[in-house]
Amino acid sequence: MKKIILLLSLSLTSFLSCSKANDTLDAFDSAGCISTLVRLSNNDDDLSCSELNRELDKLERDCSRFLDEDSRASIAVIKALCQDN
């Protein structure tokens, strides 16, 4: 009986630790997505419209679970206003 309780306790502790680790990883991923959106919105890399649109499409695909409606709207505006010189 003691072994079962110990095993359950260890399993629960491991599960909770993984959950916290996943939350931390999600926070880093979310911050990375927001950082990429800011970089692309400023066009810091001086991309052409086709390159910028490709990067924005990639951002939408890779970061879909972290983008809120305002971020999605910003991406749509950036795409609409993009003009090659």
How many Å apart are CA 23 and CA 12, to the nearest integer?
17
Yes or no: say if 37 and 75 are a contact pair by the CB < 8 Å rule: yes
Exposure string of 50-61, with b = 16+ CB inside 10 Å and e = fewer, is eebbebbeebbe
Yes or no: say if 34 and 18 are a contact pair by the CB < 8 Å rule: no
Does the model's pTM come out above 0.75? no
Q: What is the pLDDT of residues 9-24, one digit of tens each?
A: 545 455 445 555 555 5
Q: What is the pLDDT of residues 27-72, one digit of tens each?
A: 666 788 888 999 999 998 999 999 999 999 999 999 998 889 999 9
In the chain, the amino acid numbered 68 is D
In the chain, the amino acid numbered 24 is T
When pLDDT is cut at 50, 70 and 90, the band that residue 83 belongs to is confident
* pLDDT score recorded for residue 31: 84
